[in-house]
């Protein structure tokens, strides 16, 4: 059987089909005839593009704002250093770096992340690294200098008057570099006890090597009671601490230090003094947005307590500065 003949190009396949009476009628496309019916009177393509871009910008801005406020702050805490003991073996023969639990818990009480910042050694024989303290200052939002060993008199160009007051020169150098990196990065710094003294020394100030020896008329500022030992403080006129605690005339703080600020460093002002002997108890480095030192230990004060000054407002001010400067 021969194949059926195929229609040639252009040849009709059959008579045209008549449209069904019940078939839906095609609605003419009116998009090219003018703006949509829901458009505003007088709308143009340019005004519509402007509103679309403005809407997208508001959405991005709101999203950024939500993410910015939700991101948890990252606060660095300087390390205490345990140096090897001569003749020891095991753990005591190693360099150890640690932080006191109470300082970490105090900072974390405002729902922020705490990171201990170790010393760095770019020339290490076993494990050299290119990481520097500047990297920590760049990626963390603020710095807390915790308490611990004495600041070495060598760090403020003096000789120790007694061997036991030689301090920790190695830790001084580490924390001084750390402090200056955070200040240069525009990040806030809060110093506690030794940290307060170090801030003063960092800007050219000096210390009393021993309050009882250098200021015999002063109160006892260190005692075997440790954090249970306390005294009153006063805020001088213009003190930012005075503004934080406007209704507290002479609050009580703990006292656990035998060294104290002597001559103020450049740009450093007094924020609080002990009563009635006038020993410096808090300082602030004025050229920076927030660099403050507290001679007492706020982490040992109970939040909401009435016997000792509740230092939560100081922590909040520090963390607000961290959030504002982290960009």
Q: What is the pLDDT along the chain (327 residues), one digit of tens a residue?
A: 555 555 555 555 555 556 566 655 665 555 555 666 666 777 787 877 887 888 887 877 766 555 555 689 999 999 999 998 888 888 888 889 999 999 999 999 999 999 999 999 877 667 788 999 999 999 999 999 999 999 999 999 999 999 999 999 999 999 999 999 999 999 999 999 999 999 999 999 999 999 999 999 999 999 999 889 999 999 999 999 999 999 998 999 999 999 999 999 999 999 999 999 999 999 999 999 999 999 999 999 988 878 999 999 999 999 999 999 866
CA distance 111 to 301: 18
Beta pairing partners, 97:
81
Question: What is the spatial distance between Cα 71 and Cα 137, in angstroms, rounded to a whole number?
Answer: 18
Q: Which CATH fold topology does 67-325 show?
A: Rossmann fold (3.40.50)
> HSE-up of 112 (CA within 13 Å, CB side)?
25
288 C-beta neighbours (distance < 10 Å), count: 18
**Catalytic one among 297, 301, 311, 317?**
297
| DSSP symbols for 28-43 | P--GGGSS-TTSPTT-
Of 111, 286, 112, 261, nearest to 195 by C-alpha is 261
Residue 299 catalytic? yes
Which residues, 6+ apart, have CB-to-CB distance to 271 below 8 Å? Answer: 235, 236, 239, 240, 241, 281, 282, 283, 284, 292
Residue 155 carries which DSSP code? Answer: G
Q: Which of 175, 181, 281, 299 is catalytic?
A: 299
Token reading at 238 = 């213009």
Is residue 221 part of the annotated active site? The answer reads: no
CA 141 to CA 321: how far, in whole Å?
9
pLDDT of residue 61: 72
| Model pLDDT, residue 11 | 54
Q: What is the model's pLDDT at position 31?
A: 52
- The reply to whether 101 belongs to the active site is no
- The token pair at 313 is 């407002």
Tell me how far apart the alpha carbons of residues 289 and 96 are, in angstroms, rounded to a whole number: 33
Contact assessment for residue 156 and residue 268, using Cβ atoms and an 8 Å cutoff: no
For residue 80, the surrounding DSSP H or E stretch is: strand 80-82
DSSP characters over 211-250: HHHH-TTSPP---TTGGG-EEEEEPPTT-HHHHHSTT-SS
CA dist., res. 276 & res. 149, Å (int): 26
Which is catalytic among the residues 193, 281, 301, 317? 193
Structure tokens at 191: 């110093």
Judged on CB neighbours under 10 Å (0-12, 13-18, 19+), 262 is buried
Closest CA to 231 of 263, 198, 257, 262: 257
State if pTM tops 0.85: no
DSSP class of residue 141? S
Contact indicator for 271, 283 with CB cutoff of 8 Å: yes
What is the reported pLDDT for 289?
A: 96
pLDDT at 152: 98
152 three-class SS: coil
Question: Distance between CA atoms of 180 and 114, rounded to whole angstroms?
Answer: 20
SS3 call for 283: strand
């Amino acid at each position: 059987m021969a194949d059926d003949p195929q229609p040639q190009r252009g040849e009709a396949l059959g008579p045209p089909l008549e449209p069904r009476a019940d078939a839906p009628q095609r609605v003419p496309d009116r998009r090219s005839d003018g703006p949509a019916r829901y458009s505003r009177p007088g709308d143009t393509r340019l005004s519509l593009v402007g509103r679309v871009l403005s809407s997208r910008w508001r959405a991005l801005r709101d999203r950024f704002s939500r993410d910015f406020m939700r991101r948890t702050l990252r606060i660095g805490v300087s390390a205490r250093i345990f140096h090897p003991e001569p003749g020891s073996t095991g753990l005591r023969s190693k360099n150890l770096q640690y932080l006191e639990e109470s300082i970490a818990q105090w900072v974390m009480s405002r729902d922020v992340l705490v990171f201990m910042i170790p010393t760095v050694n770019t020339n290490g024989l076993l494990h050299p690294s290119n990481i520097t303290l500047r990297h920590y200052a760049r990626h963390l939002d603020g710095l807390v200098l915790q308490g611990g060993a004495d600041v070495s008199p060598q760090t403020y160009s003096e000789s120790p008057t007694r061997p036991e007051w030689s301090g920790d020169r190695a830790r001084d150098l580490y924390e001084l570099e750390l402090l200056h990196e955070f200040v240069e990065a525009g990040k806030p710094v809060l110093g506690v006890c030794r940290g307060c003294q170090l801030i003063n020394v960092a800007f050219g100030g000096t210390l009393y090597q021993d309050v009882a020896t250098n200021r015999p008329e002063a109160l006892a500022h260190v005692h075997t009671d440790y954090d249970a030992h306390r005294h009153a403080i006063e805020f001088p006129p213009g003190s930012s601490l005075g503004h934080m605690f406007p209704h507290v005339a002479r609050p009580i703080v703990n006292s656990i230090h035998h060294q104290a600020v002597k001559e103020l460093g450049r740009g450093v002002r007094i924020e609080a003094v002990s009563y009635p002997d006038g020993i410096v108890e808090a300082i602030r480095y004025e050229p920076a947005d927030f660099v403050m030192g507290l001679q007492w230990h706020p982490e040992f004060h109970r939040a909401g307590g009435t016997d000792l000054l509740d230092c939560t407002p100081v922590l909040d001010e520090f963390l607000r500065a961290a959030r504002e400067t982290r960009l």
